[in-house]
Structure 1
Amino acid sequence: MNSVLAKCALFLCIACSLTCALISLSLKAETLNDKLATPGDYQALFSQSADTAQLVALSQKLNLGETVRGHFVQSRQLKVLKKPLISQGQFIFDQTQGLIWQQIKPFESLLILKDKQLIQRDSQGRVQVSKADASASAAAMGDLLPSLVRAMLSGDISGLSENFELHFLITDKLSPDGQWQLGLTPKDPLMKKAIANMVLEGSDVLQSLVLLSAAPNVTPQDMTRIDFSALSQGTLSEAELALYALALEASKP
């Protein structure tokens, strides 16, 4: 998948990035979680290194195949705001077609990452296309974030060490599913300016992606948490293929 982050924002997914662009909201949103994790909660993780055996075991857990879909709830905590901004929606990741990030609340928007371009459709139906090579920082993140998306949703963990410093921590050894955290620090300085650290969390499946704007011991800082649910696999439906077709139409001169 040649998906790209075309601006210094997250497209996801996460990348996220993940992969998907985090849209700045002017409305204050209510908190869905009683207490969000803080950056300091991840200091123990980033003091641990990840070994090969742990990465192999994690790859086997996360392998959901070539096509994955699910729901997300995104909580974005900005240091200038007292309450996090909340958005909800659904996503589709296909290793051939790319990534669709469809926000439903608090307003509708659609992001499609495919073939080195980002297509955005806002709540008014307006479509904008961004190219990967529009800037050096966009090109750098465009090279790295597709690997992160594949790792999150198809278990391709082993290749991440080329572009990220990896950290691994078992957070609940008593849990039958084995709760874990995988920390990623980008090696590329351009990407690191946009996203200083990332954390994948899960058990037998991926549960969340956390993005930190600085090191875990730095406060205050911007922090985004994306919780995933209802993950499933299977071939693309006609309705899903129609969404990807929008990317082809938007890219025509």
Structure 2
Amino acid sequence: MKYLWLLVFVPFLYSAQSSAQPFTQFDVVALNQLTLSPGSLSGQFSQQKYLADFDMQLASSGEFDYTKNQSVNWHTLAPIENKITMTPQSITSVQGNTQVMHLQADSNPVVSVLSDIFFSVLTSQWQQLEVYFTLSGQIDDGQWQVVLIPKDSAISQAVSKIELQGDAYLRHLKFIENNGDYTDITFKDLRHE
């Protein structure tokens, strides 16, 4: 499962300092009013993967698009081209013309959970994220930061927390693993229909 998290969340975080004032009580309703959850979204990403055992970072970049509740296409262009396609039923990874991974939800139940979490993160479905995580955060002048702490023991074996930051859209994500590795992703040039 650890390897699967690495593929799916390959650098998806940026930890930022802010002068934001915390909620008196963290309010998911306020987040829903602030964030957009379009039917489709596309854009570019840059990511840094930090490997604690080697004390090194790996940089990559590419483009992505999603159709809400249908598919996410994660296309890494540099330094090595790789395409990951995620649907509620499957996760597939392709390099060049070679399929390097294909997982089906009917034979691997973790696929459904990963898809649900990934779609919920990208589309700001806060109530759905509350199923898997304890949410805390702050909002300041249209900017927000949210920390997700896993409730489920299977998820917490792979990740210690996820940090999200954005405005109407998710702009930065940091996926922090229990072994000290983390993935830091910044989104830009976001477009929706």
2:129 is the alignment partner of 1:160: yes
**Could you tell me which of 147, 153, 167 is aligned with 1:189?**
153
- Which residue is equivalent to 1:119? 92
Give the root-mean-square deviation of aligned CA atoms. 3.1
- Which residue is equivalent to 2:183? 224
- Which residue is equivalent to 1:106? 79
**Separation in structure 2 between the aligned mates of residue 183 and residue 225 of structure 1, nearest angstrom:** 14
Q: Percent identity?
A: 24
The answer to which structure has the higher helix fraction is: 1
1:129-208 matches, within 5 Å, as 129-135=102-108, 139-140=109-110, 142-170=111-139, 173=140, 177-208=141-172
**Separation in structure 1 between the aligned mates of residue 91 and residue 70 of structure 2, nearest angstrom:** 13
Any unmatched runs of 5+ in structure 1? 12-19, 24-35, 42-46, 215-219, 235-253
- 1:187 is displaced (CA, Å) by 1.4
- Which residue is equivalent to 1:8? 4
Higher Cα Rg, which structure: 1
- Tell which has more relative contact order, 1 or 2 (C-alpha 8 A, sep 6+): 2
2:53 is the alignment partner of 1:57: no
Alpha-carbon contact 1:49-1:166 (below 8 Å) kept: no
Distance 1:63 1:133, change over 3 A: same
**Could you tell me which of 57, 61, 70 is aligned with 1:84?**
57
Whichever residue aligns with residue 22 of structure 1, its letter is V
The answer to which structure has the higher strand fraction is: 2
Q: CA offsets, 1:146-177, max 9 Å, x none?
A: 3433333333212322221111124xx4xxx4
State the TM-score, normalized to the length of structure 2.
0.81
| Secondary structure of the structure 1 residue equivalent to 2:45 | strand
| Secondary structure of the structure 1 residue equivalent to 2:5 | coil
| Secondary structure of the structure 2 residue equivalent to 1:183 | strand
Alpha-carbon contact 1:210-1:224 (below 8 Å) kept: yes
Alpha-carbon contact 2:15-2:173 (below 8 Å) kept: no
Distance 1:64 1:115, change over 3 A: closer
State the TM-score, normalized to the length of structure 1.
0.64
Alpha-carbon contact 1:60-1:155 (below 8 Å) kept: no
Whichever residue aligns with residue 145 of structure 2, its letter is Q
Distance 1:154 1:60, change over 3 A: farther
Distance 1:181 1:104, change over 3 A: same
- 1:120 is displaced (CA, Å) by 1.2
Whichever residue aligns with residue 165 of structure 1, its letter is T
| Secondary structure of the structure 1 residue equivalent to 2:49 | strand
Alpha-carbon contact 2:162-2:174 (below 8 Å) kept: yes
